[in-house]
Chain A
């Protein structure tokens, strides 16, 4: 009854069996006519549609162009979140008064889903680049702030005492002690922020944008083009995974440089 760990050959075999079942049931549902092909295209239909979208425009642009405009917004939004969130977090970790003032505000804002900012984002910054960027910011900001804050709070007190004793100024203490010491925590926060930002981007594009993969999917939904919707989902998933892999590599590299990683 107790399960032993599987051999790698068995793991692969079971994995393929699982994937085969998934894709097989999906294909069968459509081919048997149980579900109309218009609503559930076969996996092959979706792959064909992705290849087609690489060159044929849909909703005003090809899939790579939509992805490019999504990425543009995404990078601006996440960078802004990091540029504002990390320094604020470090300052909150250093100055107790600032912490006591800002913490309750962020604590209260936490319960408003980032996506609920959409109407104000559209009203304040329009639907071009500003509105979606604000939503991405709203999604990516909290982890940047929280992790910089935690990193700064858990710095080895001896380091801080030494710097205080030597009469280092506040600014230099933050930049030269708190910041470097919190890098592992900050990098971990950035990875979470990147994921949440990507999620918010999709939401923002579904509602307020006029380009981007999310917009393409909404248009496809309005035109009842299920293969295009699924192509968009796969593109979003793949791009999100790529971002995560890259950031994991970066994180491992930074940790290794500091002698913390394996």
Chain B
């Protein structure tokens, strides 16, 4: 009953918003077309980028480029961050040695690496992957680390007592037990990856969603800005949803924990 009510009110709100959008832009012109596009402007911009293309490519090409970069940067960050977190969680010495370096680097926001990345690697894909890596790396490490530290001692002791070989110990005890926290870290990493990519592409790029925003801003083309923003939102939602699906599949035993 309450569910129905919520859905109904939600739909009504969006309908009202779209109505307001029409009313304020196209019909009455209270908001001028130079500030915010009318729905028809938005639609024609959307059609334009899908047929003739904009900023050097069609929407699909820009989106594909951005998604590939996010996935690559994210993959590199996970492939390096999760093992490092596992190691730091397991070995107190590793923690003691790496933590101070981490404390030194961590306060620097990922976006502040963008100028350095461009200096080192130029405006191409390599610089973006480096920045995304930095952004997504930190949450991966921290959450994996706290995941390992929150494992109950008896579980570890039992595994050791039974003489589990080291690699099986990591793969079959440490990683699964820390998995719920690791996935929390991955979600944060993914969000950070998107934010950073959009920022990096806004600063300088040749293709990608952020680049659409950049060119549209310079052309003062509000409708195209809106197309770019909505694409960022839709893709961010899609990748987050995908990660959630993977989590539900991977952590079947933890259904209660992953449901929020």
- Assess A6 versus B199: contact at CB under 8 Å? Given A229-B119, A232-B112: no
B108, A236: Cβ atoms closer than 8 Å: yes
Q: Flag whether A10 is at the interface (Cβ < 8 A).
A: yes
Q: Flag whether B22 is at the interface (Cβ < 8 A).
A: no
A233, B101: Cβ atoms closer than 8 Å: no
A14, B222: Cβ atoms closer than 8 Å: no
Bound CA span A30–B91, Å:
31
A10, B96: Cβ atoms closer than 8 Å: yes
The 9 closest A-B pairs by CB, nearest first: A18-B97, A14-B96, A119-B217, A221-B115, A237-B108, A237-B107, A104-B10, A112-B233, A100-B9
Using C-beta atoms within 8 Å of the partner chain, give the interface range for chain A. 35 or more
Which residues of B are found within 8 Å of A22, using beta-carbon distances? 101, 104
Which residues of B are found within 8 Å of A19, using beta-carbon distances? 100-101, 104
In the complex, besides A100-B6, A105-B13, A117-B229, 13 extra interface pairs with C-beta distance below 8 angstroms are A5-B92, A6-B92, A15-B96, A17-B97, A112-B236, A115-B198, A116-B210, A123-B35, A206-B203, A220-B115, A221-B118, A226-B116, A244-B107
Across the interface, name the chain B residue whose C-beta is closest to A15. Answer: B100
**Whole-angstrom distance from the CB of B101 to the nearest CB of chain A?**
5
Which residues of B are found within 8 Å of A116, using beta-carbon distances? 198, 210, 213, 228-229, 232-233
Most B CB contacts (10 A, CB to CB) among A4, A6, A113, A237 go to A113
Q: CB within 8 Å of A: which residues of B? A: 5-6, 9-10, 13-14, 17, 35-36, 90-93, 96-101, 104-105, 107-116, 118-120, 156-157, 160, 191, 194-195, 198-199, 202-203, 210, 213-214, 216-217, 220, 222, 225, 228-230, 232-234, 236-237, 240
Bound CA span A233–B108, Å:
6
**A 99-134 contacts with B by CB, 8 A:** 100-105, 108-109, 111-120, 122-124
Bound CA span A120–B120, Å:
30
Which residues of B are found within 8 Å of A224, using beta-carbon distances? 119
Which residues of B are found within 8 Å of A244, using beta-carbon distances? 107
**Whole-angstrom distance from the CB of B13 to the nearest CB of chain A?**
5
Across the interface, name the chain B residue whose C-beta is closest to A107. Answer: B10
B233, A108: Cβ atoms closer than 8 Å: yes
Which residues of B are found within 8 Å of A14, using beta-carbon distances? 93, 96-97
**Whole-angstrom distance from the CB of A113 to the nearest CB of chain B?**
4
Q: Flag whether A1 is at the interface (Cβ < 8 A).
A: yes
B115, A217: Cβ atoms closer than 8 Å: yes
Which residues of B are found within 8 Å of A101, using beta-carbon distances? 9-10, 13
Q: Flag whether A81 is at the interface (Cβ < 8 A).
A: no
- Assess A237 versus B9: contact at CB under 8 Å? Given A112-B229, A112-B232: no
A6, B96: Cβ atoms closer than 8 Å: yes
**Whole-angstrom distance from the CB of B16 to the nearest CB of chain A?**
9
Bound CA span A137–B255, Å:
35
- Among the stretches A83-91, A167-175, A195-203, A252-260, the one at the interface with B is A195-203
Which residues of A are found within 8 Å of B13, using beta-carbon distances? 101-102, 104-105
Q: Flag whether A188 is at the interface (Cβ < 8 A).
A: no
**Whole-angstrom distance from the CB of B160 to the nearest CB of chain A?**
6
B120, A39: Cβ atoms closer than 8 Å: yes
Which residues of A are found within 8 Å of B118, using beta-carbon distances? 221
Which residues of B are found within 8 Å of A118, using beta-carbon distances? 202, 213, 217
Indicate with 1 or 0, residue by residue over A213-228, a CB within 8 angstroms of chain B CB atoms: 0100110110010100
Q: Flag whether A3 is at the interface (Cβ < 8 A).
A: yes
Which residues of A are found within 8 Å of B194, using beta-carbon distances? 113
A119, B100: Cβ atoms closer than 8 Å: no
- Assess A236 versus B109: contact at CB under 8 Å? Given A18-B98, A105-B17, A229-B115: yes
Across the interface, name the chain B residue whose C-beta is closest to A228. Answer: B115
Q: Flag whether A230 is at the interface (Cβ < 8 A).
A: yes
Which residues of B are found within 8 Å of A18, using beta-carbon distances? 96-101
Which residues of A are found within 8 Å of B160, using beta-carbon distances? 1-2
A203, B225: Cβ atoms closer than 8 Å: no
Bound CA span A119–B211, Å:
11
